[in-house]
């Protein structure tokens, strides 16, 4: 089928062909422009993200934040970037030069490559892979490798210790994240990112699968090293962590990739649970989708920032216990429960048919039943947690009482 030239923003290649260009060349140019734009957007926008984060963190801590360079200090990070670039580039003695230099690039790459499958609008997507979600998870796991490489090649014990800790945490938190992702995949019936957004035209998945959404959000906090899971750079314990030996722009790449990763996972959250680009009039004017997507991903992102500047850091053992003893079981039970209930709903004929999936009313019965299931499960979980907490507290008090008694009985004879 020959694509028609409707609008230069949506159909670049056919428009170039109509302008008298060789079709092969037009195709190539269109793809090259797409790659350039998709990889440039995150690199440029990370400057804005860092500014937003610094401003909000400053407000939370009763400061003003950057306010000297440009209006509201918005150009502060450009100045910082210039500083990072002109700083001396130091490679520590005994460092493994090749791995040391490759690590920051891989860290950045592992984030930017995710943007290749992000559906910005109904027509703008880098590549609408059949396996979009698996691709995202796979690319994300490469970031772990970059941290490992950085920690080992720096030839520094703190860097190595930091890398160990981070990698252990990242590998663990991948488990509940992937399991939680299964729920929206079941609801959408596809792994393509565009397909997931299409399936949410009638109802966002956050309504039908709130528990999966919360688990996905929490494990993403850990994956991106955000508070309360920011062990990735525990300044007070590990000096800085895996990137301690890096200076200049190499450090800048690590920092930028961290900020960008934090926004990127919220972008994924918006796509998978908040309906992505969907919104009013988006089919008439596809470019509106970018605006909707930006707003939707900024909401969880702002929440992440406020969280980062308000909560304390957890210990590594608490972090691991929380993952393996709470998140993983809850996410697995959630998947089983949703799969079971979803099948019943489908057998009863209450789920929306492929024709009216875009219709809000048709989605209501399924969403309501799933929401009720989720709420029930949430209540049970909270109850179990409360009982466990009470038992723990009683045991703790008994222990304290025992030690106090022992101390008293030890003191009394010596006093007499």
Partner 1 sequence: MLEFNPQLIVFFLFAILTLGGALGVVTNRNLIHGAIYLIISLFGGAGLFVLLSAPFLAAVQVLVYIGAIAILIIFAVMLTRSMTSMRELYNRQWWISAVVAVLLFGLLVLGVIGPVWVADEEASQPVSDLVATTQDLGVALVDGNQYVLPFEIASLLLTAAMIGAIVIAREDD
Residues interacting with partner 1, by CB under 8 A? Answer: 96, 99, 129-131, 134-135, 137-142, 144-145, 148-149, 152, 160, 164, 167, 171, 174, 191
Please report how close the Cβ of residue 149 comes to partner 1 at its closest, in angstroms: 7
Closest listed residue to residue 10, CA positions, set 111, 108, 87, 123: 123
Return the number of the residue (117 or 260) whose C-beta is nearest partner 1: 117
- What's the min distance (Å) between Cβ of 151 and partner 1? 8
Beta-carbon count within 10 A of 138 CB:
13
Q: Which of 211, 181, 170 is nearest to 320 (CA)?
A: 170
Q: Which is nearer to partner 1, 160 or 180 (CB)?
A: 160
Instruction: Give CA–CA dist 28/33, Å, rounded.
Output: 9
Q: How many CB atoms lie within 10 A of CB 116?
A: 19
Confirm if 399 and 406 have CB atoms less than 8 A apart. no
CB atoms within 10 A of CB 78: 13
- Output the smallest distance, CB 389 to partner 1, in A: 23
The answer to whether 118 and 136 have CB atoms below 8 angstroms apart is no
Least Å from the CB of residue 207 to partner 1: 27
Q: Which is nearer to partner 1, 28 or 303 (CB)?
A: 28
Spatial distance between the Cα atoms of 86 and 103, rounded to a whole number of angstroms = 20
The nearer residue to partner 1, 138 or 382, going by C-beta atoms, is 138
- Asked whether 137 and 294 are in contact (CB, 8 A), the reply is no
**CB 187 within 8 Å of CB 199:** yes
**Cβ at position 141, least distance to partner 1 in Å:** 3
CB of 147 to partner 1, least distance (A): 10
Minimum separation from the CB atom of position 184 to partner 1 (A)? 17
CB 123, min distance to partner 1, A: 21
Residue 315 is given by DSSP the state P
**What tokens were used for 130?**
């059949």
DSSP 106-156: HHHHHHHGGGGG-B-SSS-BS---TTHHHHHHHHHHHHHHHHHHHHHHTT-
Kindly provide the residue ranges of all beta strands, DSSP E only, lying in 265-346, ordered along the sequence.
none
43 or 178, CB closer to partner 1? 178
Q: How far is the CB of 105 from partner 1 (least distance, A)?
A: 14
Per the omega criterion (within 30 degrees of 0), is the bond before 228 cis?
yes
Rounded CA-CA distance 274/297 in Å is: 8
Integer angstrom CA distances of residue 168 from 222, 242, 317: 11, 13, 11
Instruction: Compare residues 132 and 252 and give the one whose CB is closer to partner 1.
Output: 132
Nearer to partner 1, 151 or 289 (CB): 151
């Amino acid at each position: 089928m020959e694509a028609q030239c409707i609008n230069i923003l949506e159909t670049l290649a056919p428009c170039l062909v109509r302008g008298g260009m060789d079709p092969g060349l037009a195709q190539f140019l269109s793809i090259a422009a797409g790659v350039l734009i998709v990889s440039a957007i995150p690199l440029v926008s990370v400057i804005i993200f860092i500014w937003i984060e610094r401003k909000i963190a400053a407000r939370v801590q009763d400061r003003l934040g950057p306010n000297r360079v440009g209006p509201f200090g918005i150009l502060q990070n450009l100045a910082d970037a210039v500083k990072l670039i002109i700083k001396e580039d130091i490679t520590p003695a005994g460092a493994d030069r090749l791995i040391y230099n490759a690590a920051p690039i891989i860290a950045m790459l592992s984030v930017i490559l995710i943007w290749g499958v992000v559906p910005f609008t109904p027509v703008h997507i880098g590549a609408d892979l059949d396996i979009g979600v698996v691709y995202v998870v796979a690319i994300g796991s490469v970031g772990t490798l970059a941290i490992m490489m950085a920690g080992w090649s720096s030839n520094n014990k703190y860097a190595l210790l930091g890398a160990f800790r981070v990698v252990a945490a990242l590998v663990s938190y991948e488990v509940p994240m992937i399991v939680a992702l299964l729920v929206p995949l079941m609801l959408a019936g596809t792994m393509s990112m565009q397909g997931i957004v299409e399936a949410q035209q009638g109802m966002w998945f956050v309504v039908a699968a709130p528990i999966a959404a919360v688990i996905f959000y929490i494990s993403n906090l850990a994956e991106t090293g955000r508070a309360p899971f920011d062990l990735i750079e525990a300044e007070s314990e590990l000096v800085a962590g895996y990137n301690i030996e890096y200076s200049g722009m190499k450090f800048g790449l690590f920092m930028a990739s961290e900020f960008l990763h934090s926004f990127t996972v919220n972008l994924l959250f918006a796509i998978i649970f908040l309906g992505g680009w969907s919104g009013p009039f988006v089919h008439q004017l596809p470019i509106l989708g970018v605006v909707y997507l930006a707003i939707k991903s900024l909401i969880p992102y702002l929440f992440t920032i406020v969280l980062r500047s308000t909560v304390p850091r957890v210990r590594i053992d608490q972090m691991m216990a929380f993952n393996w003893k709470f998140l993983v079981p809850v996410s697995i039970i959630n998947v089983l429960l949703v799969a079971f209930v979803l099948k019943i709903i489908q057998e009863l004929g209450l789920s929306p048919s492929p024709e009216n999936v875009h219709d809000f009313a048709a989605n209501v019965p399924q969403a309501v039943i799933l929401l009720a299931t989720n709420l029930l499960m949430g209540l049970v979980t909270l109850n179990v947690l409360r009982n466990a907490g009470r038992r723990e507290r009683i045991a703790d008090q008994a222990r304290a009482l025992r030690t106090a008694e022992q101390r008293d009985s030890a003191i009394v004879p010596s006093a007499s």
